[in-house]
Amino acid sequence: MKAMLEWSPTELSAAIHARKVAPSEVMAAWLAQVEAINPAVNALVSLRDPDALMAEARALDDVQPHGWLHGIPFGVKDLVATKGVRTTWGSPLFADHVPVRDDLVAARLRASGAVIAGKTNVPEWGQGSHSFNPVFGVTRNPYDLSRGAGGSSGGAAAALATRMAWVADGSDMMGSLRNPAAFCNVYGFRPTWGLVPQDAEGDSYLSTLSTEGPMGRSVEDVARLLLVLAGENPEVPFPRAVPDLALDRDLRGCRIGWLGDWGGAYAMEPGILDLCEAALRQMEAMGAVVEPLAPPFPAEKLWSSWVTLRAMLNAGGKRALAEDPAKRAQTKPETIWEIEQGLSLSAQSVYEASVIRSRWHAHAARLFDRYDALVLPSAQVWPFPVDWRWPEEIAGRKMDTYHRWMEVVIPASLIGLPALSVPVGFSDRGLPMGMQVIGRSGGDMGVLGIGQAWHRATEWPQRRPPPLVQATASR
């Protein structure tokens, strides 16, 4: 049973479809792992009753398998509404909320055969890259339980690392797929904006900063889940064609632009750039051509555009949380700050922010005439103590907002580029780190192909699982 936990979802799916493994056997192995691991990590929340899950799995044993995820237990991110399964957004205002219908992501997972077994933990309202909230508490890093797992897909990343998930969904506005992947030694992919469509709720024309996406312990897993999640939703604008699954490539002749710390604009804790540069040297040995780049656009303009547009969207979607005194008292201060920043904006400032965004998009497009990928670290800090709200200082530089320490993810997020966080190794203290591989708009399979070549050469998630996993495997 324990070997099953190490299988890729593709291997597990093939075994289920060939009737070599029954969904009830998969569920039993998963429940045992959750019981052994989750109390220490707190990655999975709102878990369904084990007896009910076993009964659902047994009912699938004799059903003709359908869908890639048929019979596989799945924890859905707690920012996604799941019919009949508690969904809280990490907010005490929704601590007992049970949706009556699925959001699009959950519906597509179910259609692919997944058994929705619970949720993965998040920061309250998904804001801040540290997965703690007043409903469920904090998700801990599987490589060091005194540290956080990142966020907002921190529960998903920690579940993957600890073999409590074969594959996972996440979402990413400000690095929420990439930062926790880096912190937990797994892969997190932010697809080209629009490839995974939004739900038809609220604004769907201006809200083009955040996207759903896949996470996994291999790039093939990530790509296959992407194809489950992707595809047009005719109720929302800006559809994207779904690419074919095409991962096989090597790195010979692949042109990579290394952006480092953006000419010193992004403060970095010691050792992060060194680890990324060592990974790039390994890519060079695999045939890639790596060229250091000067900052291609003013970092402060990117930041100004980002915080303006983000605040505008937060104020538009969450204004009621600040204006209702009872709701305000139960809402995290970072969310209230975002709303108040947005309410203070003028139409002219939003327009100017959009112009900056537009100019960066045009400039980045020209960069991809020269490079197959641009590379940045996935995070500016190593996984930090769980009792911090956020890192207030990096390498002696004070952070002026609750999210400034994540600024390195902004170049891709602001203009919706595909970006894959790949594991690149560990610090001297055994803390994981990752590196963003960023591609041109629509170039998702090109980015994933680079990641696939990297994974085949390194297999970091398989080669160095967390101590908790090693301990349970030896029992």
Domain ranges for the chain: 2-473
Predicted confidence at residue 471, as pLDDT, reads: 82
Listed in sequence order, the residues at least 6 apart from 323 whose beta carbon sits closer than 8 Å to its beta carbon are none
What pTM did the predictor assign?
Answer: 0.98
Distance (Å, whole) CA 67 – CA 253: 37
Using CA atoms, how far apart are residues 432 and 414, in angstroms rounded to an integer? 26
Superfamily grouping for domain 2-473: Amidase signature (AS) domain (3.90.1300.10)
Q: What are the pLDDT tens digits along the chain (475 aa)?
A: 568 999 999 999 999 999 999 999 999 999 999 999 999 999 999 999 999 999 999 999 999 998 999 999 999 999 999 999 999 999 999 999 999 999 999 999 999 999 999 999 999 999 999 999 999 999 999 999 999 999 999 999 999 999 999 999 999 999 999 999 999 999 999 999 999 999 999 999 999 999 999 999 999 999 999 999 999 999 999 999 999 999 999 999 999 999 999 999 999 999 999 999 999 999 999 999 999 999 999 999 999 999 999 999 999 999 999 999 999 999 999 999 999 999 999 999 999 999 999 999 999 999 999 999 999 999 999 999 999 999 999 999 999 999 999 999 999 999 999 999 999 999 999 999 999 999 999 999 999 999 999 999 999 999 999 999 988 876 5
Take residue 163 and report the two structure tokens written for it: 């073999």
The pLDDT value recorded for residue 273 is: 98
Contact partners, residue 129, CB within 8 Å, separation at least 6: 123, 150, 151, 152, 154, 174, 175, 176, 179, 180, 390, 403, 406
pLDDT at 472: 81
pLDDT value of position 474:
61
How far is it, in rounded angstroms, from Cα 87 to Cα 80?
7
Query: CB-based contacts of 212: which residues, under 8 Å, 6+ apart?
Result: 80, 105, 169, 170, 171, 172, 196, 229
Spell out the residues 6+ positions from residue 348 whose beta carbon is closer than 8 angstroms to its own: none
**Cβ contact 43:139 at 8 Å:** yes
CB atoms within 10 A of CB 178: 38
Q: Provide the pLDDT for residue 2.
A: 62
User: Contact, 356 vs 229, CB < 8 A?
Assistant: no
